[in-house]
Amino acid sequence: MRKALAAVLAAALAAVPLLGAQEKAQEPAAREQRTAYLRRIFEKDRAGFGDACRAVLSLVQDEHTDADFEAVRKDLEARGIVEAGWDLRADSPLDRGTLAFMLCRALGIRGGLTMAVFGTSRRYALRECVHLGLLPGGTAGQYVSGRELIDALGNADLYREAGSTDSLRK
Amino acid sequence: MRRAIVLSAGLAWAASLGAQDPPKPAPAQPAPPREAIEATIVALKGTVDVKRPEDKDFVPAERNMKLKKGTEICAAVASSATLLFTGDVKVVVKALTQAKIEDLARQGGEVNADVNLKFGTIEVDIKKGDLKADMKVTAPNSTTSISGSLGWVRSYAAGGGGFLSIRTESGSWNHSVHGLGLDFPIEGAGLANDRGDLPGDLDYAFGTRTFLDFFGKHKDELYRGRWSIKAGDVHPWDLPFFEFAGTAPSSKKHRKAAILPPPPRPPFP
């Protein structure tokens, strides 16, 4: 019995580095340059927080950025677009509430009475973004796919230029 | 003798039948040769990458770069590229767009161009010139044919490429949905929208078409007398209160000058 337990324990200990290796293998080998991240996002089922940070900073600066995640995050924190207390990594899945919060702060959307009184929260930022046509409906905790992120950024770009997300009217 | 007469009559009848046959059409002329042409990047903003058929991966786009059939182009956030297909056909690849030039050739007096829009927005500007332009924008589930036009086509990334928005200012457009056999022709200014403000679009279509057909006037024009405030007019709340109050008919500014002098004072103090 002891031998069997020891064997199981040894097998479990041996599997830990393997799991770590699998996690490392999923990370991109090198930082993507220029538009490569855009094409990767298009193929992803779930967009990452790092992808959104990079795209939103590019949108705010009106210039594409290839800076690494930490630099981008610090820049966004300084601008008030990302909260310092968020425990999110570059590969953390992006949810609609977080994306809506970032878009509201980046585009200077003040929202309605609730947001004006209680401040920007993920829940009400999402409501505001749905109302303005920046994001499709859903819940604040729902994950965002790569393609939805691209559409949301396109809508945000349109909103920034024209003050409306309706691309059919001037 | 009789046989000869019958034979000659038969021959004459056959000859008359032959004369009544319609003339055969002239043999069709061979189609002019198809000549591949190249697009040129005439303006760039921000970060744009291209992948030509000879490239293994995307490379940074440069001004005056020549793009041939099979080239892919990708524009990042806050970026755009203007492509000149010929002197009369201009395509602007907007931000957050990936597209591919599927076909680009000249055949006789006609230019054929086919742009496959994977996601994003392109602006098409075709001016009328010596060459007739036959352009198509292909999205995963639809094809839009354009001739002599200015307009914008946006293909949404989400939804499997099934959603498209088109806004046109001029020319002839035809939006054809694959698989459904539906064609939406647009002449001049118009729109086709698979995703957007549907009630707004219906109201726009109703106001434009129905009112024009029935009343001969647009909805806005018809009710102009009743609702005098139009888009762009200054509302009372746009002005400071006292400035607005000063515009009222009874205000000092608008008060008419007295025509008669004031009445004389009474004789007693």
What is the ipTM for the molecules in this complex? Answer: 0.78
pLDDT in tens, B123-164: 999 887 767 778 888 887 788 888 878 888 888 888 776 778
> Can you give the pLDDT of all 170 residues of chain A as single tens digits?
566 666 666 665 555 554 444 444 444 545 678 899 999 999 999 999 999 999 999 999 999 999 999 999 999 999 999 999 999 999 999 999 999 999 999 999 988 888 888 889 999 999 999 988 899 888 999 999 999 999 999 999 988 887 777 654 44
Q: Amino acid identity, residue A115?
A: M
Confidence of residue B83 (pLDDT cuts 50, 70, 90): very high
Best probe of the A interface among B77, B119, B173, by most A CBs < 10 A, is: B77
Residues of A in contact with B58 (CB under 8 A): 34-36, 39
End-to-end CA distance of chain A: 77
Q: Virtual CA dihedral for A36, A42, A47, A52, nearest 10 degrees?
A: 60
Q: What's phi and psi for A118, nearest 5 deg?
A: -100, 0
Cross-chain CB nearest to A34 (options B47, B118, B166): B47
Confidence of residue B30 (pLDDT cuts 50, 70, 90): confident
* pLDDT at res. B13: 55
Nearest CA in chain B to A57: B77
pTM over 0.90: no
* pLDDT at res. A15: 53
* pLDDT at res. A21: 46
* pLDDT at res. B252: 65
* pLDDT at res. B254: 59
Averaged pLDDT of chain B: 77
Nearest CA in chain A to B163: A151
Q: Which two tokens stand for residue B12?
A: 């004459």
Q: Amino acid identity, residue B216?
A: G
* pLDDT at res. B112: 87
* pLDDT at res. B199: 63
Maximum Cα interatomic distance, chain A, rounded to a whole number of Å: 77
* Strand partners for B103: B114
Whether residue B7 is predicted with pLDDT greater than 50 in this model: the reply is: no
Cross-chain CB nearest to B158 (options A58, A145, A168): A145
* pLDDT at res. B64: 93
- Nearest-CA distance B182 → chain A (Å): 20
* pLDDT at res. A27: 46
| Nearest in space to A150 (alpha carbons), one of A31, A16, A40, A68 | A40
Contact flag A58-B118 (C-beta cutoff 8 Å): no
Contact flag B158-A151 (C-beta cutoff 8 Å): yes
**Angle between the N-to-C axes of helices A146-162 and A96-107, in degrees from 0 to 180, rounded to the nearest 10:** 20
Whether residue B23 is predicted with pLDDT greater than 60 in this model: the reply is: no
* pLDDT at res. A59: 94
* Mean pLDDT, residues B88-116: 90
pLDDT in tens, B207-222: 667 777 787 776 666 6
Residues of A in contact with B95 (CB under 8 A): 154, 157
